Structure 1
Amino acid sequence: MSIKTRLWLSYIAMIVVPVVCFGLVASTLVAVFWGESFPREKAPGKPLFRQNMDRRDELFAGVAFLAQHDAERLLDNELLTETDEQLRPFGGAFILAKEGAVLFASSSLAQADLPKYMQSAAAEERPRQWPPWESSRHVARTYAFSFADKSQGTLYFLADDSSLFSSGISFFALMIVSFLVIIGLTNGILTYLVSKSIIRPLYALKQAAHEIKEGHLERPVQLGRKDELGELGEAFEEMRVRLYDSIRMQLQYEESRKELIASISHDLKTPITGIKACVEAVLDGIADTQPKREKYMRMIASKSAQMDRLIDELLLYSRLDLNRLPFHLEPVNIRAYLTDWVQALRLEPGMSDVRLNVAGTEGGPLAVMADREKLHRVLMNMIDNSMKYMDKPLKQIDVRVERTADEVIVTIADNGAGIAEEAMPHIFDRFYRADPARNTTTGGSGLGLAIVKQLVEGHGGRVWARSEVGSGTDICFSLPLQKGTEGGADEAHIDR
């Protein structure tokens, strides 16, 4: 659930929950304050307290009607007592006077100063407010009439709304307090829950940022959420992983740089030492004959060529490592290319005692996208690596071409000493030598197969090796096949 949706739901809950709770509280308060105070008959459309006031006025009107039409019945004490009992639940009372003398007074007026009410009523034509006998009762109205003997009668109708209004005040006060409490509690709880769901992941991100600042990048950031904060946490975790990988790679590069400097220093020192020794021999007069001088000069030339080859490979590898070596790719018929390359290789002086076999070059054109110069460097480095580890009288190298669904695989297999199993994962690492002792005799730099790997990957291919100690080594590389080249392509458009 997104934060926006969560906030919208919390806003709705802040409205709906208080309304529902307030309705329940209001219903409870109505039942407590008014539930037992009045009769349960209720006319539709009117509040209960208004119905009670109307009922009291109806009883007052009934007594007045009786005084007007049958005043003698008011002398019936039983009738008056019954009427008084009907008025009492509604806060009503009355006084019946004849010629100023009290004939009847409601039982609720037993402790009241009746003459004071009657004198006050006589002082005004339409009295409304009268001195209280219970601090809040007042005369609702007076009604004058005549008895059958022509004597003057007066009815004093009194209403006591104090309990009703005090209950109403308490009721509304509690309603207001309840409303405020419900609003405060509901909003407080919902705000706490929503803020907690937002603040907790923010605190986790803060802790993670602190860990990263201190250099502790191993601790993962896992919020386990599906909202915006979850997306932020995932981005933060991705940043942490990339930063961790970047620092790890930087450390690896630094370590590799140190190894590179050490290896370069060692590999350059070897031919320089040889050159220095030859020069000293000439200067010291050891080479005192022409054949000896020519021998030392050839040694100097050989060591210089070795240094030149090493520096050339270092420059090439550094450019490949920095992705600064451009590739000029063009369609190349790999079958024809390998056939020509093997024929040229057989003419090399160093290959005179090596048996070269080629397979898979028959058939129609098989095109790959390749840089011809760099492809030649790949093949020559692989041949050089095979030649360094030849240990049998009959030296043999097989070149094979295979086609799969989407790539061409070239394999160069030799019958040399082979490579130990524990060395296989490292043979394409720079400056790695499966047998370091051979470097003094072969002049290897340890960069040959590393350059092969970089060049093949630059073509979009891959490289791998198989080997068995004592039987030989197969070094294979693949290049993406240009679709539609075998059996249907125009050979004229494919470079040999």
Structure 2
Amino acid sequence: MSIKTRLLLSYIAMTFIPVVLFALVFSVLSTVLFQNAAGTGDRKGPPAVWQMANARDELIAGVKFMARTDPDRFADSAFVQNTDKQLNEVQAGLVVVKNGQAAFVSPFVAIPDLLNELQGVQAEQNHRPWGNKVGGRFTAVKYDVAFGDHSAGTVYVLSDLRPLFDSARKFFPLLVLSLLVVIGLTNGVLTFLVSRSLIKPLFALKHAAEQFKEGNLDHQVRLNRKDEIGELGAAFEEMRSRLNDSIRLQLQYEENRKQLISNISHDLKTPITGIKACVEGIQDGIADTGPMRDKYVSMIAKKTDEMDRLIDELMLYSKLDLNRLPFHLEPVDFAAYLHDCVEELRLDPRLAGVRISFTRSGNGPVSVMADREKLRRVVVNIIDNSLKYMDKEHKEIAVELIEGETEATVRIRDNGPGIDSAALPHIFDRFYRAEPSRNTATGGSGLGLAIVKQIVEGQGGSVGAESRSGEGTTVYFSLPIKHGGEQS
């Protein structure tokens, strides 16, 4: 549930719940405060005050009816007393005036100077509390009658307002107080619940930020929410994860940099040491003959070539690693390109005595997007790596092109000693040599296959290797096939 929806529901609840509770409180207070001692007792149905008011209305209606149809009944003392007794039970009293004199006054009505008070009452006025008031506590209703002896008279019914006023004086303050309590409690509880649902995750995010500030990037942020704060927590967690990965990668780069410096120092020191030894031999007069000097100069030239080749490979790998070496991709017929490349290698003096072959799985051209110059570097580096370790009398290298639906794969297989299974996953790492002595006579610079991986992946391909000890090694790489409808 989103925060917007949550707040909207809380606003609705803040309006609806107080209304319901207020109606409930109103009902309870009405029942309790307007239920008098003469009520029903079981407090079921309407309060007794309302029952009393209904009964009084019925009696007053009867008095009105008798005043119109049989006014002489009000000259009968027995009838008048009986009627007054019934009215007394509902907090009312009867007053009969004949010829300006009080013929009957109910004991229930105790008002000084009663006749003067009654003179202001108009005939047949509503007897409700907002009608004619008499003596400050009664409401009066007046009916004019004509007796049988042709005398004029007036019948008054006075209803006591005190029970209603007494209950009202308690009812309305309690009602207002209850309304304030209901609103306060409802708003307080809802505000607490909504605030708690927002503040608690915010504190969790604050704590996580403090952990990040202290460098503890292993502290995970898990809010388990599906609202905007949950999305914020997910963003925090993704930031933490990426930052943690970035720092780990940076530490790995730093470790690789140290290893790179160490490997470069070692690989450069070896030929420099040989050159230095040859120079010292010449200076000390050890090479005192022409053939000996030629041997020493030849060794110096060889070591210089090794250094030059190592520096070139280092520069090439560095440019590839930093993505500073551009690839000039163009459509290339992979099959024809590999055929020509193999034919050139057969004429290479380094491959003298090595049987090299080329086969393919299909017919026709196989178009790929590739950099021709760098693609040749890939093939040459793989074959050079195979040549360094070949130990059999009959040396063989087989180049095979396998055409798939989406990519073309080149497999270059030799019949050398193979690579140990523990070393196989690392042969494409820079400066890694399966031969641990780091002898350049056999192991090379350790950058050849690392350069292969960088070039192939830079052209959208992938590399891999397979090997069995004593049976040889297969290094393979794949490039995406460019179909006719694809743009270059």
Q: What is the TM-score of this pair, normalised by structure 1? A: 0.85
Give the whole-Å Cα distance in 2 for the aligned partners of 1:375 and 1:123: 124
TM superposition shift of 1:366: 1.5
**3-state DSSP of counterpart to 1:437:** coil
Equivalent position of 2:461 in the other structure:
461
C-alpha distance 157-400 of structure 1, shift in aligned 2 (>3 A): closer
The alignment partner of 2:418 has SS state of coil
Unpaired segments ≥5 residues, structure 1: 486-493
Is the alpha carbon distance of 1:308 and 1:89 closer, same or farther for their aligned partners in structure 2, counting shifts above 3 Å? farther
Q: Deviations over 1:84-105 (max 9, x none)?
A: 2332354322345779987644
Residue aligning to 1:437: 437
Query: Kindly tell me: are residues 253 and 475 of structure 1, through their superposed partners in 2, closer, same or farther at Cα, counting changes over 3 Å?
Result: same
After TM superposition, give the deviation of residue 149 of structure 1 in Å: 7.5
Confirm whether residue 126 of structure 1 aligns to residue 120 of structure 2. yes
Hey, what does 1:380 align to over in structure 2? 380
Deviation at 1:445, TM superposition (A): 1.2
Alpha-carbon distance in 2 for matches of 1:361, 1:62: 121
Contact 1:139–1:156 (Cα < 8 Å) also in 2? no
CA shift at 1:164, angstroms?
Answer: 0.9
**What's 1:481 paired with?**
481
Q: In 2 relative to 1, CA 53–473 (structure 1 residues): closer, same or farther, beyond 3 Å? A: same
Q: Which has the higher mean CA deviation after the structures are superposed, 168-177 or 345-354?
A: 168-177
- Would the aligned equivalents of 1:14 and 1:190 in 2 still touch at CA under 8 Å? yes
TM-superposed CA distance for 1:262, in Å, is 0.8
> How far apart are 1:174 and its partner, in Å?
2.7
Q: Comparing 141-150 with 465-474, which one deviates more in the overlay?
A: 141-150
Distance 1:147 1:379 in 2: 139
Deviations 1:68-98 (A, max 9, x none): 942xx43534322322233235432234577
Classify 1:125/1:75 alpha carbon distance in 2 versus 1 (closer, same or farther; 3 Å). Answer: closer
C-alpha deviation, 1:29, in angstroms: 3.0
Alignment of 1:217-232 (within 5 A): 217-232=217-232
State the partner residue of 1:300.
300
Task: Pick closer, same or farther for the CA change 1:173–1:60 going to 2, 3 Å.
Answer: farther
Distance 1:14 1:246 in 2: 48
Report the counterpart of residue 17 of structure 2 in structure 1: 17
SS at match of 2:402: strand
Taking a change above 3 Å as real, the CA distance of residues 415 and 95 of structure 1, as seen in their structure-2 partners, is same
The 5-angstrom pairing of residues 298-377 of structure 1 reads: 298-360=298-360, 363-377=363-377
Alignment partner, residue 243 of structure 1: 243
The equivalences for 1:56-205 within 5 A come to 58=61, 61=64, 69-70=71-72, 73-96=73-96, 104-109=104-109, 112=110, 116-118=112-114, 121-122=115-116, 126=120, 137-138=137-138, 140=140, 157-205=157-205
Deviation string 1:304-346 (CA, Å, 9 cap, x unpaired) is 1111111111111111111111000111112111111111112
TM-score under structure 2 length normalisation: 0.86
Identity %: 54
Name whichever of 179-188 and 456-465 sits farther off. Answer: 179-188
Gaps of 5+ in 2: 122-131
**Cα pair distance change 1:102/1:366, threshold 3 Å:** closer
Partner of 1:491: none
How many equivalent pairs are there?
470
Q: Distance in 1 between matches of 2:394 and 2:473?
A: 15
Q: Distance in 1 between matches of 2:303 and 2:332?
A: 37
Cα distance change on mapping 1:190 and 1:129 into 2, 3 Å? closer
Give how far 1:124 is off: 9.0
The structural deviation recorded for 1:236 is: 1.5
Tell me if the contact between 1:413 and 1:472 (Cα under 8 Å) persists in the aligned partners: yes
Q: 1:152 and 1:481, CA in 2 relative to 1: closer, same or farther beyond 3 A?
A: closer
Q: Contact between 1:336 and 1:361, CA under 8 Å: does it hold in 2?
A: no
Contact kept? 2:60, 2:157, Cα under 8 Å: no
Q: Deviations over 1:230-285 (max 9, x none)?
A: 22122221111111111111111111111111111111111111111111111111
- Cα separation, partners in 2 of 1:366 and 1:98, compared to 1, 3 Å: closer
Q: Compared with structure 1, are the counterparts of its residues 361 and 163 closer, same or farther at alpha carbon in structure 2 (3 Å cutoff)?
A: closer
Match for 2:245: what amino acid? D
Paired amino acid for 2:120: R
**Deviation, structure 1 residue 141:** 6.8
Deviations 1:118-175 (A, max 9, x none): 4xx44995387766xxxx5347378898877799977665432121122223323333
The aligned counterpart of 1:3 is 3
Cα distance in 2, alignment partners of residues 416 and 153 from structure 1: 142
Q: What is the aligned-residue RMSD (CA, Å)?
A: 3.3
